[in-house]
Amino acid sequence: MSNVEYSKGLEGVIAAESRICKVDGENGKLYYEGYSIDDLVEHCNFEEVTYLLLYGELPNEGEFSSFQSHMRASRDLSEPIRRMIQEFPNENHPMELLQSVVAYLSGYVEHKIQHSAHCNCRDTLHQVVQLSTVVAAYERYKTGHGYIRPSKSLSHGSNFLFMLTGAEPGELEGRIMDDCLILHAEHGFNASTFTARVVASTISTCYSAISAAIGALFGSLHGGANEKVMAMVDEIGEPSNAAGWVNRTLDEKRKVMGMGHRVYKAKDPRAVIMENYLYQLSEKHGDFRYYEILKEVERAFRDRMEEKGKPIYPNVDFFSGAVYRLLGIPTRLFTPIFAMARASGWLAHVLEQREDNRIYRPKALYVGERDKTVIPIEQR
Amino acid sequence: MSNVEYSKGLEGVIAAESRICKVDGENGKLYYEGYSIDDLVEHCNFEEVTYLLLYGELPNEGEFSSFQSHMRASRDLSEPIRRMIQEFPNENHPMELLQSVVAYLSGYVEHKIQHSAHCNCRDTLHQVVQLSTVVAAYERYKTGHGYIRPSKSLSHGSNFLFMLTGAEPGELEGRIMDDCLILHAEHGFNASTFTARVVASTISTCYSAISAAIGALFGSLHGGANEKVMAMVDEIGEPSNAAGWVNRTLDEKRKVMGMGHRVYKAKDPRAVIMENYLYQLSEKHGDFRYYEILKEVERAFRDRMEEKGKPIYPNVDFFSGAVYRLLGIPTRLFTPIFAMARASGWLAHVLEQREDNRIYRPKALYVGERDKTVIPIEQR
């Protein structure tokens, strides 16, 4: 180790300017292009939010109508892509498949690499749109079912549930699924978004950049927290076990999943919305078990933290897994759904990076040996 | 634009410690794990250098024998991968295919993600080894030929030429190809290697990280310089045209490709070796046209630069394209060959990143709007 100081993981280091996302951690607010997430969830669907992220402003009716038609016309998968999905080994993770498919897709779409934000990436939205079709097709094949062609009349979220099950989801379920995509569409310079920007900075394609970002999101330190929350919920089993479980876990200095966030000092605004959806779905199912377990965990956790004088709140992952489960979605799709949503944000960052680009080339601090001589192999 | 200062492209910012590579730009020296590139090219083959990069030390005979057998046993492609290659649209770039295949490969290899340098990535070398088979198979299919199964008795470089043509290359050609891979195996924190480290920092798989790095190398600001050099050579046509071409190009303030390097102030040590190989191959072919054109360009360029008092030397890309062409390799494979070689370095960086990991999460400088309100779409 050397004595030269630097910031590991580039913590606190500014990597670029951005106008896409503002996380106001102090006040528990999240903004996309200046609009609060609450406002967007209330008034827009995922396709409209995608337009906002890619163009920097909300569309008028004419703009939105043509954008939406274009997105919906891009939903279906070509035969070779479907074969890739079918042949992907069964025991492997769909994130590996997603990363591969997005890079492969670029071969099937007419696109240019342009050193300009005014490239045609906004017109070739397959890398955003088809992710949901790939995820649904993966699940269909894996469970021994056939491919379901996407609908053009459903919202992005509703269509995803339709392609999973073959049945149109209820109005509530479709809206919640679509809103979940909005809530995960963007969140600043996390590792996957930063990956997309680094790849974009070489003036590679949008597909290359988004494929790379999927690889980063697959990492266990990045995606996957809501899977772990549901493992916790399953372990707890009943609401009455929750407080004891939390106290034991904290006594043993282990982590309670879905609690706290690097940036939010107040409650994660996405968690507030997710909690409400979980309540609505629990009510519709007439089954409040997940909801009550989670609320008991939250309560017990808060009590313990208040003793220490440092309040820690649930983040979006705390409630999203239970929401997905009540929507009938298997756990292995949780991180792929994150990718489906975040693809819009990644593409927005790719475009922004190109507007005022410099290739990322940080320095390494050399700590290795110097001037060694190769000894012939038979003398080693 | 804001007044807060930061370094665009992270120029000059230390991103991590590394012991893998030292570029001594002042003296025109390049070291892998403390060994100079000249020493390595003289004494080792690409497989041995790969061992060095992955383990930090050169192998003894027993270690090398088992490592080499393992690498060679991993060369062949499975049927679904071959189908992916065959079905990849003809007009698209093989780098997109490579990025996709490496992510897909992970499904076909038993591997674990471990937050440790002692993971089994060194044992699952498909992501390094099979790249050359994918590139060769791509070229075979593209030109209407069949797949050639890899040989186990040839070096990595010789086997690549064998899989391209179906004939064992001569001793000289095989050795030069293998050395070209050594010369491109590693070069510090460029954008693709940095991409691999960012993805690895999330504790994703080696395959995810290398696939992402391929996406970065595909960018026109990163790979591809030797393609542009050969376009220049073809435009010049004859050695006698070279000086005039260089003078016109500089008068018009356009760029002469393959000249100068961000880091090297002396001649790029890889260029010195490449020039020698180009001479040897030209001698064998009895055709010095490329060699003489390039030497004339170098001379004319140097004369002009000396007038300005700032010497600029050729870099590795200046000679490598001509070397590849005399080896019978089509231009579209130049950047894929770069990826085949650099995969060893990428994997070494993935392992090093994991040894002392922190997830990369730089900051964005927010320059966007605040507190906008969504106006209903029909009023926009």
Among the partner residues B14, B97, B368, nearest to A363 by beta-carbon distance: B14
With an 8 Å Cβ cutoff, are B203 and A221 in contact? yes
With an 8 Å Cβ cutoff, are A218 and B198 in contact? no
B60 pLDDT band, cuts 50/70/90, is very high
Looking at residue A336, its pLDDT comes to: 98
Number of alpha helices (DSSP H) and beta strands (DSSP E) in chain A: 16, 5
A4 pLDDT band, cuts 50/70/90, is confident
Contacts of A220 in chain B (CB under 8 A): 113, 115, 202-204
Contacts of B63 (CB under 8 A, 6+ apart): B51
ipTM above 0.90, yes or no: yes
Q: How crowded is residue B2: how many other Cβ atoms within 10 Å of its Cβ?
A: 10
Please indicate whether residue B317 is annotated as part of the active site: yes
Looking at residue B280, its pLDDT comes to: 98
With an 8 Å Cβ cutoff, are A10 and B13 in contact? yes
pLDDT tens digits along B196-249? 999 999 999 999 999 999 999 999 898 889 999 999 999 999 999 999 999 999
What are the angstrom distances between the C-alpha of B308 and each of B48, B73, B303? 43, 54, 9
Catalytic, out of B111, B261, B268, B349? B261
Both tokens assigned to B48: 């041995």
User: What distance in Å separates the CA atoms of residue A161 and residue B325, rounded to the nearest whole number?
Assistant: 52
Looking at residue A309, its pLDDT comes to: 82
Cα nearest neighbour of A193 on chain B:
B361
Looking at residue A263, its pLDDT comes to: 83
| Shortest Cα–Cα distance, B241 to chain A (Å) | 32
Residue B265 in any domain: the answer is yes
Among the partner residues A15, A22, A113, nearest to B362 by beta-carbon distance: A15
B296, HSE (Cβ side, Cα atoms, 13 Å): 20
Name which of B361, B377, B379 to mutate to probe chain A: the one with the most chain A Cβ atoms within 10 A of its Cβ: B361
Contacts of B198 in chain A (CB under 8 A): 191, 194-195, 198, 216
Residue A311 in any domain: the answer is yes
Looking at residue A311, its pLDDT comes to: 83
> Coil, strand, or helix at residue A236?
helix
Q: Which of A100-114, B122-136, B184-198 has the lowest mean pLDDT?
A: A100-114
Whether the CB-CB separation of B202 and A221 falls below 8 Å is answered with yes
A111 pLDDT band, cuts 50/70/90, is low
**Is the pLDDT reported for residue A115 higher than 60?**
no
Residue B193 in any domain: the answer is no
pTM, full prediction: 0.96
**Is the pLDDT reported for residue B278 higher than 90?**
yes
Whether the CB-CB separation of A239 and A289 falls below 8 Å is answered with yes
User: What distance in Å separates the CA atoms of residue B375 and residue B355, rounded to the nearest whole number?
Assistant: 50
Q: What amino acid positions of A are annotated as catalytic residues?
A: 261, 317
Cα nearest neighbour of A91 on chain B:
B107
**Is the pLDDT reported for residue A302 higher than 90?**
yes
Looking at residue A87, its pLDDT comes to: 93
**Is the pLDDT reported for residue A35 higher than 70?**
yes
With an 8 Å Cβ cutoff, are A101 and B100 in contact? yes
Among the partner residues B15, B113, B198, nearest to A364 by beta-carbon distance: B15
Q: With the C-alpha atoms ordered A28, A32, A34, A40, is the resulting torsion angle positive or negative? A: negative
Whether the CB-CB separation of A185 and A192 falls below 8 Å is answered with no
Of A365, A360, A363, which is closest to residue A16 (Cα–Cα)? Answer: A360
Looking at residue B307, its pLDDT comes to: 84
Residue B283 in any domain: the answer is yes
User: What distance in Å separates the CA atoms of residue B318 and residue A193, rounded to the nearest whole number?
Assistant: 34
Looking at residue A67, its pLDDT comes to: 95
User: What distance in Å separates the CA atoms of residue B93 and residue A320, rounded to the nearest whole number?
Assistant: 39
- In sequence order, the β-bridge partners of residue B14 are A363
Residue A254 in any domain: the answer is yes
Name which of B351, B360, B367, B375 to mutate to probe chain A: the one with the most chain A Cβ atoms within 10 A of its Cβ: B360
Name which of B13, B210, B217 to mutate to probe chain A: the one with the most chain A Cβ atoms within 10 A of its Cβ: B13
| Shortest Cα–Cα distance, A61 to chain B (Å) | 6
Looking at residue B83, its pLDDT comes to: 95
Rounded mean pLDDT of chain A? 94
Q: Which domain holds residue A255?
A: 225-326
Looking at residue B111, its pLDDT comes to: 64
Looking at residue A352, its pLDDT comes to: 94
Over range B293-319, report the average pLDDT.
92
Residue B242 in any domain: the answer is yes
As for how many domains chain B has, the answer is: 1
Q: What percent of chain B has pLDDT over 70?
A: 96
User: What distance in Å separates the CA atoms of residue B26 and residue B267, rounded to the nearest whole number?
Assistant: 9
Residue B219 in any domain: the answer is no
Over range A123-143, report the average pLDDT.
93
Both tokens assigned to A103: 């890079």
Q: What percent of chain A has pLDDT over 70?
A: 96
**Is the pLDDT reported for residue A124 higher than 80?**
no
pLDDT tens digits along B90-131? 888 999 999 999 999 988 876 666 555 556 677 778 889 999
With an 8 Å Cβ cutoff, are A362 and B15 in contact? yes
A363-366 and B14-18 strand pairing: parallel
Across the A/B interface, how many CB contacts are shorter than 8 Å?
A: 384
Contacts of A205 in chain B (CB under 8 A): 96, 215, 218
User: What distance in Å separates the CA atoms of residue B51 and residue B71, rounded to the nearest whole number?
Assistant: 10
Of A164, A138, A140, which is closest to residue A150 (Cα–Cα)? Answer: A164
With an 8 Å Cβ cutoff, are A16 and B208 in contact? no
Among the partner residues B96, B213, B221, nearest to A103 by beta-carbon distance: B96
Residue B189 in any domain: the answer is no
Cα nearest neighbour of B45 on chain A:
A377
| Shortest Cα–Cα distance, B186 to chain A (Å) | 13
With an 8 Å Cβ cutoff, are B22 and A59 in contact? no
With an 8 Å Cβ cutoff, are B374 and A58 in contact? yes
A351 pLDDT band, cuts 50/70/90, is very high
Contacts of A361 in chain B (CB under 8 A): 9-11, 189-191, 194, 262
Q: Which of A88-92, A295-299, B245-249 has the lowest mean pLDDT?
A: A88-92
**Is the pLDDT reported for residue A123 higher than 90?**
no
Instruction: Look up tokens 């050579």; give the residue.
Output: B233
CATH number for position A261 = 1.10.230.10
